[in-house]
């Protein structure tokens, strides 16, 4: 007990007198007017249902979770809503570790009364199976820094977290149709909560006999004699009123506080809605980016440059492999033209040079003609040369000449000549006779 009292922060008498004298001049130690709020900042986490509120030096974080539970017997068609607070010694030395203090319990009750008693959250929409399964919504408030007025900061954090929370969608299945099936966010989009209005808490501090301020700081809370928290919505409807402290408050002062709180609740509601709208917009953009194709997407209908090159190469190969009959004629015509060019450009050699004699195999032609029984016409060697010269000097184009038929005729003439024997054939050449003599001499 002595250690707990030693950790409590206490103010001196001079500090208390300074704060009271400043309020008589309608001034506060941080420069605000008596009915001015501190700077409000609302942030949201990556996950749905998490918010972080900073009101001046007061820092509060809120998380909203849900789970399926059995409903109460007196309310089988309604879900549940509960608020839990956690005070850390890091936020304030007066906070205890483990066991919740009186201020923590009071803070949880004020926020729970403003949300649950005013029916801001539609609990009937949380029912899955009447009498068996309902959704239980849990709000966890974590005090990170105590700079005064924890009620207002925690209430704003709880409302903002509820607006961004989304519970998983569930359906009924099974044989009897009573089995609950939970769908993950990847399969079905989570569902937001049904919230009818936004209850906003506004706290007043009474210092001295006639001094009243709004949104008290940590120093002003140490000096105040009483406190009153009023919870209203943007329509001016009173949701809850909490009076703490021993100092009494007159009825006229209470009505004045309600009028001021109605205006402040409208301003805070607009700020919360603006922050939630920006969060929903960012969330929608993230969902679009998640399902959209990458920035450097490849169009399947329009092939890329490499694909075009590959297709062109395949087309060229197919054209080379599959040639039509007309293309065969063109290729053969080109070959004949090349041969004719070679023949015209040739200047040396005998005048009776046959360009097709090198291609024809006489042995094969003899065998084929013999099998067909063709009769060769006897011709002289001189006449054969004249005929060949006449054919080469003819004015007709070379493309009209059939190389196969001409080579066949020439081969037939050669066969007829080879069959006729003359005196010249009987006489052996001198070279052969000399070789025979030389060979005979070598044998001797």
Overall average pLDDT of the 203-229 stretch: 89
Q: How many whole angstroms separate alpha carbon 157 and alpha carbon 62?
A: 6
pTM (2 d.p.):
0.63
Q: Looking at per-residue confidence, does 438 or 317 come out higher? A: 317
- Model pLDDT, residue 374: 43
Most confident of 37-46, 172-181, 318-327: 37-46
pLDDT (tens digit, 9 = 90+) per residue, 295-325? 444 343 444 565 566 667 766 666 555 544 4
- Model pLDDT, residue 164: 94
Overall average pLDDT of the 26-34 stretch: 88
pLDDT (tens digit, 9 = 90+) per residue, 127-163? 998 888 999 999 999 999 999 899 999 999 999 999 9
Neighbours of 56 (CB within 10 A): 20
Q: Which residues are registered as beta bridge partners of 244?
A: 227
Token pair of 244 as six digits: 């703490």
Q: Which residues are registered as beta bridge partners of 195?
A: 121
Give the pLDDT band of residue 88 (cuts 50, 70, 90): confident
Q: Looking at per-residue confidence, does 444 or 279 come out higher? A: 279
- Model pLDDT, residue 196: 93
Question: Do 386 and 347 touch, CB atoms closer than 8 A?
Answer: no
Q: What is the mean pLDDT of the chain?
A: 75
- Residue with tokens 């009271």, as numbered in its chain: 20
- Model pLDDT, residue 380: 45
Q: How many whole angstroms separate alpha carbon 374 and alpha carbon 377?
A: 10
Overall average pLDDT of the 282-305 stretch: 58
- According to the 3-state scheme, what is the secondary structure of 187-224? CCCCEECCECCCCEEEEEEEECCCEEEECCCHHHHHHC
Question: Do 142 and 89 touch, CB atoms closer than 8 A?
Answer: no
């Amino acid at each position: 007990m002595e250690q707990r009292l030693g950790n409590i922060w206490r103010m001196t008498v001079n500090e208390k007198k300074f704060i009271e004298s400043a309020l008589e001049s309608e001034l506060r130690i941080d420069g605000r007017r008596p009915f001015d709020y501190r700077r409000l900042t609302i942030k949201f986490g990556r996950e749905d249902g998490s918010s972080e509120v900073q009101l001046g030096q007061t820092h509060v974080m809120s998380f909203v979770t849900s789970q399926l539970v059995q409903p109460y017997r007196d309310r089988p068609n309604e879900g549940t809503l509960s608020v839990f607070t956690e005070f850390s010694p890091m936020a304030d030395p007066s906070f205890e570790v483990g066991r919740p203090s009186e201020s923590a319990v009071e803070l949880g009750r004020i926020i729970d009364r403003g949300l649950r008693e005013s029916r801001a959250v539609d609990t009937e929409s949380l029912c899955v199976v009447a009498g068996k399964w309902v959704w239980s919504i849990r709000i966890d408030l974590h005090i990170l820094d105590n700079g005064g007025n924890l009620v207002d900061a925690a209430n704003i954090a709880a409302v903002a977290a509820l607006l961004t929370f989304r519970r998983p969608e569930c359906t009924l299945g099974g044989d009897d149709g009573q089995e609950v099936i939970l769908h993950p966010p990847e399969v079905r989009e989570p569902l937001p909560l049904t919230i009818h209005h936004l209850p906003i808490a506004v706290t007043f501090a009474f210092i001295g006999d006639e001094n009243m301020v709004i949104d008290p700081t940590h120093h002003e809370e140490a000096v105040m004699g009483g406190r009153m928290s009023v919870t209203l919505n943007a329509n001016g409807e009173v949701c809850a009123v909490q009076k703490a402290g021993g100092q009494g408050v007159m009825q006229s002062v209470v009505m004045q506080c309600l009028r001021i709180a109605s205006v402040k609740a409208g301003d805070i509601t607009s700020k919360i809605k603006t922050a939630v709208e920006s969060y929903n917009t960012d969330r929608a953009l993230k969902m679009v980016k998640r399902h959209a194709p990458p920035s450097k997407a490849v169009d399947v209908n329009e092939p890329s440059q490499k694909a075009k090159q590959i297709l062109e190469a395949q087309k060229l190969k197919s054209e080379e492999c599959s040639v039509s009959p007309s293309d065969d004629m063109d290729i053969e015509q080109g070959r004949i033209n090349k041969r004719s060019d070679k023949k015209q450009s040739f200047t040396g050699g005998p005048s009776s040079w046959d360009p097709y004699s090198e291609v024809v195999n006489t042995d094969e032609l003899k065998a084929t003609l013999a099998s067909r029984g063709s009769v060769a016409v006897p011709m002289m060697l001189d006449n054969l040369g004249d005929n060949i010269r006449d054919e080469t000097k003819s004015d007709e184009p070379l493309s009209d000449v059939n190389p196969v038929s001409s080579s066949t005729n020439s081969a037939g003439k050669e066969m007829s000549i080879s069959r006729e024997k003359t005196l010249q054939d009987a006489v052996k050449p001198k070279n052969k006779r000399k070789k025979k003599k030389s060979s005979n001499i070598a044998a001797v």
